[in-house]
Amino acid sequence: MIYPNLWRALVIVLCMLLSITGLHAETTLRIASPLVAPDSDNPYRALSLPSSISSQVMYDPLVVIGRDGKVAPWLLTAWDSEGSKVWRLTLRQGVTFSNGVPLAADAIVGSVMDMQTPKGRAWTVGSSLANIDRAEALSGDTVSIILKRPDPMFPWRMAIWRLPEPESWKTRKGDPSQPSAANTGPFSMVERGEARLVYDANPYAWNKPAADHLELIHLPDQTARLQAMNADAIDIALQMGTGDRELIESIGGQMFERRTTRVMYMTFTKEHVPESNPVHDVRVRLALNYGVNRQRISELLLDGRGKMQGQLVLPGAPGYVEELKSFPYDPEKAKALLKEAGYEDGLALSIRFAPAGADDMVVYQQAAQDLRQIGVKLDLLNAAVSEMTRMMFAGDFRADMFGNFGRGLDPLGDFRYRSCIGQTGKYPPYFCDKVSLGFVRKAQQATSIEEVDALMQQVTRQEYNNPPGIFLWPGIMVDALSTSVVSADGYGDYYDYIPYHAIKIAD
């Protein structure tokens, strides 16, 4: 029997221990995402947010790209090369995987070997890093990466490369039903479901997480994510609309803009349509750029977040031309160009696109309304994302234009998708500028980032005068954070990466 005085003494001692040790109630960070990769804890399956979030919370990237477009250390602390074909990488010391194995050069060597298998080549990251020939460990924390051909842009490409622990990955990679591979990131997966993934804090993480647990909830519908935030069922909702700001702020939440590597534009399918089609005339393409009031669309529909672009390159990336501004809204100049091209009485065009949310649809509708003022009737053709992807790789859009994006931090690599390099299915690529192609070919052979920058700036200037599409703005991703988020240091500071460890939830 425990006497009342003894009970009181035990309670007092327990309270003292709690105050001394700083013990607290465990916290769970709840994130709702519109996309979750099917193979959710495979670090090689998805490139960018939001689809990559399920593996990003677990596996650290080798490097991150900061708001200035420059490569910054993460798992790597240094990288250098002479000639851009052989790269020497230095790993961060003192990092340990979640199974207690120290991070060492063999993790990179093993990762390269995995990506070079037939299955690894089929993964998105493996195919994107196909220029790697082999990796050789030089010491415990240094490794040499030998490329098949020189690539001054290789440091930027390493931002999509995330590392699992080699031995645990051997079991996991062939069987997704197996436990996740060990990781260095802030959280480790403990439960894998179709609509809900559960993670615990990784006790070995070098970036210690502020939360004890993390739940990733798959909510494809934007309205459902908004309702979940309103019901206090989630702490963060990814990829919301700027039109949601009023409601989010009314319940004490905040809207955070997240950086993406995309630059949005409406692409002309010039090579897929007869030469009689108006988009073959550069004057028509210039007129369409002068005919869209981007500033008004940004202010009215995007909460002023659309920063105008006159190029498909982001600041800090090779090929960015700082003085090159967006096309001003000039309907009279647009009409004059159309008259000069023989379309004084107007013309009709079509555009196919896959809206990612309500904001996208309204943007296209407003652009169509602007173009109507200069005599251009733009027929809007909706498509599902899967359909657009098929059309992209088959080269069969059945429209004069389509909604597209440039890879703004990798303009040289972007030409693999959007120029006359190679063949797209049975059709030619959708836009071919042979002047630009000459500079691109030289840039592909360059061995220094300075050479690539100078050559790609020539491409950027050429595309301004011979536009491959209607330039818009960098991709805008806005996330909503609830009142339960006490702090989120660094949120939005990196391209396609969130420092999950720094997100603190109220006890």
pLDDT tens digit string along 165-214? 999 999 888 788 889 999 999 999 999 988 999 999 999 999 999 999 99
Compute how many other C-beta atoms are within 10 angstroms of the C-beta atom of residue 487. Answer: 11
Plot region of 190 (φ>0 → left; ψ -120 to 50 → alpha; else → beta): alpha
For helices 434-445 and 449-465, what crossing angle results, to 10°?
170
pLDDT of the residue at 120: 92
Chain-wide mean pLDDT for the chain? 89
Task: Enumerate domains of the chain plus CATH numbers.
Answer: 31-253+482-505 (3.40.190.10), 261-476 (3.10.105.10)
C-alpha span between 234 and 46 (Å, rounded): 23
C-alpha span between 16 and 167 (Å, rounded): 44
Residue 55 to residues 60, 235, 268, 431, Cα–Cα distance (Å) = 9, 19, 35, 35
Average the pLDDT over each of 36-45, 351-360, 498-507 and give the range with the smallest value: 351-360
Report the percent of the chain where pLDDT is more than 90.
70
How deeply is 451 buried, as exposed, middle or buried, from its count of CB atoms within 10 A (0-12, 13-18, 19+)?
middle
C-alpha span between 201 and 212 (Å, rounded): 5
Contact between residue 440 and residue 411 where contact means Cβ atoms under 8 Å apart: no
Residue 117 to residues 46, 145, 160, Cα–Cα distance (Å) = 17, 17, 18
Polymer length of the chain: 507
C-alpha span between 406 and 266 (Å, rounded): 10
For the entire predicted model, the pTM comes to 0.86
For helices 449-465 and 411-418, what crossing angle results, to 10°?
50
Q: Which of 47, 45, 42 is nearest to 413 (CA)?
A: 47
C-alpha span between 416 and 426 (Å, rounded): 16
Residue 143 to residues 112, 193, 407, 441, Cα–Cα distance (Å) = 11, 37, 28, 30
Confidence of residue 387 (pLDDT cuts 50, 70, 90): confident
400-443 pLDDT per residue, tens: 999 998 889 999 888 876 767 765 556 667 888 989 999 999 99
292-346 pLDDT per residue, tens: 999 898 888 777 776 777 999 999 999 999 999 999 999 999 999 999 999 999 9
Distance of CA 432 to the CA centre of its chain: 26
C-alpha span between 299 and 483 (Å, rounded): 26
pLDDT of the residue at 424: 54
C-alpha span between 418 and 404 (Å, rounded): 10
Residue, of 9 and 165, whose pLDDT is higher: 165
Q: Distance from first CA to last CA of the chain, Å, rounded? A: 35
C-alpha span between 162 and 154 (Å, rounded): 15
Residue 168 to residues 40, 107, 183, 192, 367, Cα–Cα distance (Å) = 16, 11, 9, 17, 51
Arithmetic mean of pLDDT, 245-257 = 91
Residue 90 bridge partners (DSSP): 78, 142
Contacts with 439 (C-beta within 8 Å, 6 or more apart), sequence order: 455, 456, 458, 459, 462
Torsion of CA 315, 317, 322, 325, to 10 degrees: -70
pLDDT of the residue at 426: 63
pLDDT at 21 over 50: no
123-154 pLDDT per residue, tens: 999 999 999 999 999 999 999 999 999 999 99
Structure-token pair, residue 322: 């700082």
Confidence of residue 232 (pLDDT cuts 50, 70, 90): very high
Distance of CA 93 to the CA centre of its chain: 28
